Structure 1
Amino acid sequence: MDVGNARLAYTEAGSGSPVVWLHGSGPGATGMSNFGGNLSAFTDYRNIVVDLPGWGQSPRPETDEPLIFHAADRVCRAMTALGIGRAHLVGNSYGGAVAMRIAMRHPDRVDRLVLMAPGGVLPPDAPPWPVGLERLFGYMAAEKPSRAAMAEFVRLMVFDESLATEELVDERYESSLRVHPELPIPPNFGDLTPDLGRIGAPTLLVWGREDQTVPLSWAPKILAGIPDAELRVLPHCRHWVQYERAAEFNHIVREFLRGGAAAAAEG
């Protein structure tokens, strides 16, 4: 779809209350590579799975804006183009930061927020970067990224490395070659820390206990900053919570979107 001076690719599935799914910034990431395996549990929602600017099938327009800010504006424009005034937002990593930015700037457009190890809020001692971010930035900086580097990156995203299948590595590698981002390293993502208190939406943070990309030690700052936030931590799980623990993730998120455990019990 056209969103002003850019085009944004998306996949739509299901019908009901709208949910916008926002993927991470890892090499080869797309909306469907992040969330395609979850959608069958959400067929009673209108799911909009976005390729954020510069990833998947969405070209990256020239901009000097921080990437989070730029992407959030384009997602809002996409919602308008699709006739969506208000939606739940589900975001992983970079996509979680984009969701937070929308909630800060356009609170009337956000119902509930689900954030899986979101970016955009760094501790004061960073860098040095966690190993997952080091690998992500290293892949972005490579002039000719290799499949071996992609395999190393994918293995860092999951606690159970058997889930880092050859098929998954191939899919992410081929996707990264189609749109290999030419970005400063580290990219100018933008800082959301000063505005965390502006997020009024009920917020669920979901974190893998063994996350090596956006570590659990970064969570308390976000949890304390968002007025109506709760945190679920899944053990034996790294950064791709929605992939590695899909069944539990789907259950937790569905419960939260319905209004939480109390509302589910009443229903």
Structure 2
Amino acid sequence: MMTVAVVAALAALALITQIGVVAIERAHPAQGERIEVAGASLHVVELGSRDAAGPPVVMIHGASSNLEAMRQPLGEMLAENHRVILIDRPGHGWSPRAREQDSTPAIQGQMIDAALEKMAIKRAIFVVHSWSGALGVRMALDYPSRVAGLVMLAPVAYPWPGGVGWYNKLVSTPVIGPLLAATITLPLGCLLAAPGARGVFLPQTMPENYVGHTATLLLLRPREFLANARDLVTLKEAVRQQAPRYGEIRAPTVVITGDKDKTVSTDIHSRPFSKTVPGAKLIVLEGVGHMVQNAAPALVVSEIDAMIAEIAHKTAATSARRQND
């Protein structure tokens, strides 16, 4: 009798989840175009003018989110003067990936590089947040000709003590993980999404209706929740493997972080990274938490503008020397 009751409860939760997925996807439809690459279909949204001066700005979100987290307000501010490209990472938002195990910065970087090649974008400024800090530096290492500059916001760069939350490990477990994702994740997640987001913003206040404006609930769809968990549980080993190469980075690099970040430690990640990368600039914002792009968007825009201006200056100087030779 107990078994029958459990099966019935799981079936009901699975039905609720499927209905919820339909409702969430209707509320937050894809806004851009899809670019097919090996292993994924990447959802890309473009803002600003394609004729804007300087290299385009490619913005890549962190874990448990999608491109909307980079659009508001930072992407829209940048679009006033730059061509801005927002990308849903493989497995997130409206970018399904073929294999759940394609979770590392190296593999996702390869997919994003291929998409940019299809878009005829040869060089770009990469603005990366949190999890994607590891992705940005991996692209600077593997595709240096693609990365004109690197702006890292509260980035993950090194291994850290501890893990990534018991639920991520549990959801990454075969059989059990997919079962949980298909039944209880969405109903429970709808209750916990706003409190969880508020915690990431601390000590800043979360913007009003942030969860709705950034389509955060897309994360609760089973396929995305599984992909996100896999990204998180494999990240520590991924940064352990790539960290010894950071001294090879030659792209202009700015790291912006907050001294009150409880999600990604500034002392573990941003400080040692900025000391390792030649010429890297570190900005530590007093009293700021993890969501740097929301807490200080004008500062981030200013640093990107300064980087683009410096790149233009060096390019012009190099061209002048060649003409005089």
TM-score by length of 2: 0.70
Query: Pairwise mapping of residues 72-221 of structure 1 onto structure 2 (< 5 A)?
Result: 72-123=109-160, 126-127=161-162, 129=163, 134=165, 137=168, 143=181, 144=185, 145-165=188-208, 167-170=209-212, 171-178=214-221, 179-182=223-226, 183-184=229-230, 186-189=232-235, 190-191=238-239, 192-218=242-268, 219-221=270-272
Counterpart Cα distance in 1 of 2:167 and 2:85: 26
SS of corresponding position for 2:46: strand
| Ranges of 4+ aligned residues in structure 1 off by more than 6 Å | 138-142
> Structure 2: any 5+ residue segments left out of the alignment?
1-34, 173-179, 315-325
Residue 33 of structure 1 corresponds to: 69
2:308 corresponds to which of 221, 238, 257: 257
With over 3 angstroms needed to count, the CA separation of the structure-2 counterparts of 1:169 and 1:256, relative to structure 1, is same
> Structure 1: any 5+ residue segments left out of the alignment?
none
Q: How many Å apart are 1:36 and its aligned residue?
A: 3.1
Residue 40 of structure 2 corresponds to: 6
Q: How many Å apart are 1:157 and its aligned residue?
A: 1.8
Q: 1:217-253 deviations in whole A, cap 9, x for unaligned?
A: 1122211221121100112211110012222332233
With over 3 angstroms needed to count, the CA separation of the structure-2 counterparts of 1:213 and 1:245, relative to structure 1, is same
Counterpart Cα distance in 2 of 1:61 and 1:185: 14
Asked if the contact 2:93–2:224 (Cα under 8 Å) also holds between the matched residues in 1, the reply is: no
With over 3 angstroms needed to count, the CA separation of the structure-2 counterparts of 1:153 and 1:140, relative to structure 1, is farther
Counterpart Cα distance in 1 of 2:123 and 2:108: 17
Counterpart Cα distance in 2 of 1:257 and 1:136: 41
Counterpart Cα distance in 1 of 2:169 and 2:62: 16
With over 3 angstroms needed to count, the CA separation of the structure-2 counterparts of 1:138 and 1:249, relative to structure 1, is farther
- Bigger Cα Rg: 2
Structure 2 residue identity aligned to 1:180: E
Q: How many Å apart are 1:152 and its aligned residue?
A: 2.7
Determine what percentage of the aligned residue pairs are the same residue: 24
Q: How many Å apart are 1:86 and its aligned residue?
A: 1.0
How many residues are matched? 253
Q: How many Å apart are 1:59 and its aligned residue?
A: 0.5
CA RMSD in angstroms comes to 2.7
Asked if the contact 2:103–2:231 (Cα under 8 Å) also holds between the matched residues in 1, the reply is: no
Asked if the contact 1:139–1:150 (Cα under 8 Å) also holds between the matched residues in 2, the reply is: no
SS of corresponding position for 1:10: strand
SS of corresponding position for 2:191: helix
